[in-house]
């Protein structure tokens, strides 16, 4: 491992100051503004990790399977933050809780009063909250420390961190209406916010999640910055291509933004010293057909964009997919860390299983990337990019080709059915275009990587990423057949893609017994040497214990949603898998050292902190209704039992 020493030396210099700040607490969604998901704490180590036990559990009550009072289902994806000795987190229904970090006791809670009848496009989700300290306020002033949260019904809210009371000087009674200027919704919940805002200087910046496949004229995906004290709009970045005519302001002067643009639904990151905000973008609506007349609409689509945080000006743009027709939008927080040679790096995980490593000041590759030819011949009227960007290093973290002879099943008939299904699809590897006969998408729209992103151990020069390996089938059909086709297969996802010639059918490629048609592992945890761009190890993540008809803990690796946490002691903590466990792995070898049972699915990213002289590891265990994991409402804290050796 001697080749890691230069990175470790640089990292030590870069991170020493940050370690003092981040060692005790976890002040941002990703641990720090750049989202490394790394902690300098080392009380929990390989030698004692098996002594972890549940220290406390907090139950919030906000869970829905869509069959009761709440029309939408829930996914508990929150990562708490620890600021000024208090733990803050949000629930799927956007309630915010403040807890004692040592006991889990409630200090306050706030309820936004969401409408249960809303049909929220991306489920009811809240991944986290943001903290901001007003340096100009008196030490005892109300709202000197603010907790910002954004809701599924499109409100940006400022709460007093001490009391949970909305800050009266922010917007109207502590809230800003994010629906103003984005265009009308067709239903409540077509436009929502699922990821935490970002506070920089005296600004708070927020993106949005928009229903992808409903219509061409979906609400705008504009990114906006508001004054952190008053809530006044300070700047707006409209993601329409340069030169696109902008709508005239509303009669009351409210700016209006171009509809149907890419949106920014995943978490953002920031580099305050460089005045840079890093934005992972989605693709324009709809996902699977845009045609020649909209071929320029994705100018900023499926990209990492660096904005000047103080002004919203574009500094650089790197597109991970050209003219994205696969729902390969950038799903994860850009991660800022020391890179090869000590350069300031941005590490971007993608749904393709590609890991792009860029210079954060310029967007130039720090590890080589090349344009390669990709399949052509899309649906009638479609325009395809002849090439796509592929990292030369590291190699893909997920498989990208599934042939009929690769079909897998637990029985011969199961395997034969999968083999026939694969052979009947258009299947030319990654970037096979959507088609009328049905195209195999591998990886699928869920990843590769998804919103959990990566964790970085700067001392060891390692990046950790969890990936999925699940093929999907996408079929286009004449738009006028949408209602009939949807009625004929009610258990399958259909979308109208209004404004295009085609409706959409999308489904995972499963055997008659309901298992993936590709061989396992269906989920892995991977470690990458950041200096060399090489995979150091990869191991299956999770068992089929909680997803198979019989609870046999076969470690096949399963689909997963959530992310990893790295610590200075050489541990990687992750839940994410569709079985109900939090696990700890050895950072150098990938050996699973410990697992702790959870009361529900842990489709979230853990965090860690020290409180009352003790290190805790906390994970949201509430499941993911659409993924099919066990639902619940628990925030679970683990700590070492007895005396710490």
**Residues annotated catalytic, as ranges:** 327
First to last CA, the chain: 28
Torsion angle (degrees, nearest 10) of CA 391, 395, 399, 404: 90
Name the nearest CA neighbour of 228 among 330, 162, 309.
309
Strands of the sheet with 52-59, listed across from one edge: 52-59, 634-640, 614-621, 607-611
What b/e sequence results for 592-625 when a residue is b if at least 16 CB atoms lie within 10 Å of its CB, and e otherwise? Answer: bbbbbebbbbbbbbbbbbbbeebbbbbbbbbbbb
Q: Residues with Cβ < 8 Å from 95, sequence gap 6 or more?
A: 60, 62, 109, 110, 111, 112
- Classify strands 534-540 and 233-237 as parallel, antiparallel or unpaired: unpaired
- Quote the tokens at residue 79: 């990562």
Name the nearest CA neighbour of 318 among 300, 331, 293.
300
**Tokens 């004054």 belong to which residue?**
227
**Tokens 């990209």 belong to which residue?**
303
Contact 476, 288 (CB under 8 A): yes
Contact 57, 104 (CB under 8 A): yes
Strands of the sheet with 223-227, listed across from one edge: 198-200, 203-206, 223-227, 233-237
Contact 572, 39 (CB under 8 A): no
**CA atoms in the 13 A half-sphere facing the CB of 560:** 36
DSSP state of 418: H
- Classify strands 439-441 and 355-359 as parallel, antiparallel or unpaired: unpaired
């Amino acid at each position: 491992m001697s080749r890691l020493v230069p990175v470790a030396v640089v990292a030590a210099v870069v991170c020493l100051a940050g370690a003092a700040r981040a060692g005790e607490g976890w002040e941002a969604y990703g641990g720090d503004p750049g989202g490394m998901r790394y902690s300098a704490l080392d009380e929990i180590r390989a030698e004692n990790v098996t002594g972890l036990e549940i220290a406390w559990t907090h139950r919030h009550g906000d869970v829905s399977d869509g069959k009761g009072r709440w029309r939408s289902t829930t996914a508990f994806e929150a990562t708490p933050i620890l600021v000024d000795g208090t733990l803050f987190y949000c629930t799927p229904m956007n309630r915010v809780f403040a807890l004692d970090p040592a006991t889990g006791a409630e200090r306050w809670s706030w309820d936004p009063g969401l409408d249960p009848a809303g049909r929220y496009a991306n489920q009811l989700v809240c991944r986290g909250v943001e903290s901001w300290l007003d340096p100009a306020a008196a030490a005892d002033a109300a709202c000197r420390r603010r907790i910002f949260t954004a809701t599924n019904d499109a409100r940006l809210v400022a709460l007093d961190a001490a009391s949970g009371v909305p800050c009266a000087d922010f917007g109207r009674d502590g809230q800003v209406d994010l629906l103003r200027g984005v265009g009308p919704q067709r239903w409540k919940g077509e436009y929502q916010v699922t990821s935490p805002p970002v506070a920089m200087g005296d600004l708070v910046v927020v993106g949005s999640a928009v229903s992808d496949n409903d219509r061409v004229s979906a609400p705008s995906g504009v990114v906006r910055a508001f004054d952190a004290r008053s809530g006044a709009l300070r700047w707006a970045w409209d993601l329409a291509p340069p030169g696109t005519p902008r709508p005239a302001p509303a009669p009351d002067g409210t700016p209006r933004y171009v509809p149907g643009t890419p949106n920014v639904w995943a978490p953002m990151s920031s580099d305050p010293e460089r005045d840079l905000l890093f934005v992972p973008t989605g693709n324009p609506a709809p996902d699977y057909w845009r045609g020649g007349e909209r071929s320029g609409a994705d100018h900023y689509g499926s990209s990492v964009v660096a904005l000047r945080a103080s002004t919203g000006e574009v500094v650089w743009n790197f597109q991970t997919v050209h003219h994205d027709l696969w729902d390969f939008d950038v799903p994860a927080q850009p991660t800022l860390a020391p890179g090869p040679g000590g350069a300031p790096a941005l590490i971007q995980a993608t749904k393709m299983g590609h890991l792009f490593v860029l210079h954060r000041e310029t967007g130039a590759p720090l590890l080589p990337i090349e344009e390669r030819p990709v399949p052509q011949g899309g649906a009638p009227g479609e325009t395809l990019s002849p090439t796509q960007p592929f990292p030369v290093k590291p190699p893909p973290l997920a498989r990208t080709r599934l042939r009929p002879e690769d079909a897998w099943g637990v029985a011969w008939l199961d395997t034969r059915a999968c083999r026939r299904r694969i052979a009947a699809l258009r299947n030319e590897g990654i970037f096979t275009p959507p088609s009328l006969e049905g195209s195999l998408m591998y990886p699928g729209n869920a990843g590769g990587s998804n919103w959990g992103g990566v964790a970085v151990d700067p001392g060891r020069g390692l990046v950790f990423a969890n990936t999925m390996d699940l093929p999907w089938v996408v079929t286009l059909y004449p738009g006028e057949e949408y209602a009939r086709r949807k009625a004929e297969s009610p258990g399958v996802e259909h979308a109208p893609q209004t404004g295009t010639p085609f409706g959409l059918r999308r489904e995972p490629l499963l055997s008659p017994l309901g298992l993936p048609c590709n061989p396992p592992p269906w989920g892995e945890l991977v470690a990458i040497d950041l200096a060399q761009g090489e995979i150091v190890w990869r191991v299956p993540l999770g068992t089929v214990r909680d997803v198979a008809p019989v609870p046999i803990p076969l470690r096949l690796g399963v689909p997963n949603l959530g992310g990893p946490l790295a610590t200075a002691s050489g541990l990687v903590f992750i839940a994410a898998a569709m079985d109900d466990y939090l696990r700890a792995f050895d950072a150098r070898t990938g050996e699973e050292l410990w697992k702790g049972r959870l009361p529900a699915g842990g489709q979230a990213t853990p965090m860690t902190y020290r409180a009352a002289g003790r290190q805790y590891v906390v994970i949201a265990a509430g499941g993911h209704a659409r993924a099919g994991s066990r639902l619940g409402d628990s925030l679970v804290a683990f700590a070492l039992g007895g005396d710490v050796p």
